[in-house]
């Protein structure tokens, strides 16, 4: 018997457990009221409510150049709020994260680094119509040449609920069908311009063969109407990607190398003019995104004056800054200012303040982190860890979760207990 080749399934993107990987959104209801514990967010009700209002402004996409400053003590969830905004906006809205110190380590001027970050945060949704052939495969017939040489030839029979057509196949199409493992009963689409074949699933008429296919098989209806259809395809690219593709001789390959270098202003002007034309013709829409700059007090006066001007641009994204400094020196000057920022830029900002977490909120955050890191912990151990967090810092307590679980595994335990927390606490010292 012929050995059956197992079906290939889509590879799921694996994510490492990070400091904010448990955040799924801002945890707001439809009225923008913050739930106490929701989507990985705990407490900070006023700050989340304010961030929700900004989120609504971003989603409507009508107002450009708004800036927001999230200020508070270390470990009060400033970056978590920004990550919650990114998750709530979804994959289609560009969200760029940048640390204030990053721009000093790049091989380009600081203003160029900020310009690139700005343009990474502005998406262009381009609409185009393509012709496709969509139908259910009735038969795939491939004729191999007898002598072994020459090109393969074949015929493909496709049908909809109303019609049936036979197509002649060339070598490229045969290769595409074999690569996608297309067989009779599959519902496929073929892009006429590129020849790309996409498998949508199995036809419902083949549902009785379910046992031979496996539970992962997706069933779809047989397409209706004509075999040839016009379909609108939407691509979302950022202005920075368009700049890179048009500025380098190797085109889009520069996107993968990461070495974009400085981009000339003339190229950006040409891109902006072209995008404006597409908008007027209805071919494209601008998708204003978010640029999040953490540790914003690390920027200097040159960067701040650039941001002041850049915020006035009609295509500016929404800026979100975060800082944990109070009155501190403005970098590049001898003057002090609130959050290390000049007053003229502070005038443009809406400021969200974060408050220190209560003991109950810290306990809930530690519980969420235990679930995220897949660590079983007794209530007594979590209570002790909460006490440590209140005396030292929340971040220190979160780091102790995994180390305590390793100590627990060493003694072949199933749940992290008080003795494991105490053992870890003696191994490492806290700075407070």
Alpha helices in 282-393 (DSSP H): 301-310, 343-346, 359-372, 379-391
Contact 294, 322 (CB under 8 A): yes
pLDDT of the residue at 54? 84
Stretch among 18-27, 364-373, 383-392 having the lowest mean pLDDT? 18-27
Q: What is the distance between the alpha carbons of residues 142 and 176, in angstroms, rounded to a whole number?
A: 13
The tens digit of pLDDT for each residue in 293-330 reads: 999 999 999 999 999 888 888 778 888 999 998 899 99
Q: What is the DSSP letter of 59?
A: H
The tens digit of pLDDT for each residue in 217-273 reads: 778 888 888 888 887 777 888 888 888 888 765 555 555 555 567 888 888 889 989
Percent of the chain with pLDDT over 70: 88
Mean per-residue pLDDT over the chain, rounded: 82
Percent of the chain with pLDDT over 90: 11
Q: What is the distance between the alpha carbons of residues 177 and 190, in angstroms, rounded to a whole number?
A: 10
Report whether pLDDT(8) > 50: no
Q: What is the distance between the alpha carbons of residues 216 and 218, in angstroms, rounded to a whole number?
A: 6
Rg over alpha carbons for the chain, rounded to the nearest Å, is 28
Q: What are the b/e assignments for 16-36, b being 16+ CB within 10 Å?
A: eeeebebbebbbbeeeeebee
Contact 21, 372 (CB under 8 A): yes
Contact 94, 183 (CB under 8 A): no
Residue 42: name the closest of 394, 420, 413, 400 by CA. 394
The pTM is what? 0.71
Q: What is the distance between the alpha carbons of residues 303 and 128, in angstroms, rounded to a whole number?
A: 38
The tens digit of pLDDT for each residue in 73-125 reads: 888 888 888 888 888 887 778 888 888 888 888 888 888 889 989 999 988 98
Secondary structure (DSSP) of 206-274: GGGGGGGT-TTPPEEPPPPS-SEEEEEEEEEEEHHHHHHHHHSTTTTHHHHH-------HHHHHHHHHH
| Region of 392 on the Ramachandran plot (φ > 0 left; ψ -120 to 50 alpha; else beta) | alpha
pLDDT of the residue at 302? 92
The tens digit of pLDDT for each residue in 158-181 reads: 888 888 888 888 888 888 888 888
Spacing of C-alpha 284 from chain mean position:
21
CA distances from 10 to 7, 13, 15, 216 (A): 10, 9, 15, 11
């Amino acid at each position: 018997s012929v050995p059956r080749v197992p079906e290939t399934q889509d590879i799921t993107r694996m994510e490492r457990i990070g400091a904010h990987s448990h955040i799924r959104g801002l945890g707001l209801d439809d009225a923008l009221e913050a739930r106490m514990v929701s989507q990985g967010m705990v407490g900070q009700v006023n700050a989340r409510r304010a961030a929700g209002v900004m989120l609504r402004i971003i989603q409507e996409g009508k107002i450009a150049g708004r800036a927001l400053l999230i200020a508070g003590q270390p470990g009060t969830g400033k970056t978590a709020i920004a990550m919650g905004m990114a998750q709530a906006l979804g994959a289609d809205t560009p969200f760029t994260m940048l640390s204030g110190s990053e721009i000093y380590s790049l091989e380009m001027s600081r203003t160029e680094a900020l310009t690139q970050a700005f343009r990474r945060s502005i998406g262009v949704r381009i609409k185009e119509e393509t012709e496709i052939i969509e139908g259910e495969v009735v038969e795939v017939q491939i004729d191999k040449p007898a002598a072994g040489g020459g090109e393969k030839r074949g015929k493909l029979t496709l049908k909809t609920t109303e019609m049936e057509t036979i197509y002649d196949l060339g070598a490229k199409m045969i290769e595409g069908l074999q690569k996608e493992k297309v067989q009779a009963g599959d519902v496929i689409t073929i892009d006429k311009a590129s020849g790309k074949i996409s498998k949508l699933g199995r036809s419902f008429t083949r549902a009785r063969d379910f046992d031979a296919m496996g539970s992962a098989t997706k069933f779809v209806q047989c397409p209706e109407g004509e075999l040839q259809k016009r379909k609108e395809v939407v691509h979302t690219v950022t202005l920075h990607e368009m700049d890179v593709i048009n500025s380098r001789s190797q085109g889009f390959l520069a996107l993968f190398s990461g070495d974009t270098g400085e981009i000339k202003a003339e190229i950006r002007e040409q891109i902006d003019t072209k995008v404006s034309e597409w908008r007027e013709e209805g071919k494209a829409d601008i998708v204003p995104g978010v640029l999040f700059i953490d540790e914003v007090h690390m920027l200097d006066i040159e960067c701040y004056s650039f941001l002041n001007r850049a915020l006035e641009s009609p295509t500016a994204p929404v800026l979100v800054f975060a800082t944990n400094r109070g009155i501190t020196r403005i970098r590049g000057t001898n003057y002090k200012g609130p959050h290390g920022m000049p007053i003229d830029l502070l005038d443009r900002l809406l400021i969200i303040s974060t408050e220190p977490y209560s003991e109950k909120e810290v306990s809930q955050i530690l519980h969420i982190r235990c679930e995220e890191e897949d660590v079983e912990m007794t209530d007594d151990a979590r209570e002790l860890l909460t006490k440590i967090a209140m005396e030292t810092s929340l971040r220190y307590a979160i780091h102790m979760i995994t180390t305590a679980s390793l100590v627990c595994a060493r003694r072949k335990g199933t749940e992290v207990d008080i003795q494991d927390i105490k053992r870890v606490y003696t191994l490492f010292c806290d700075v407070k």
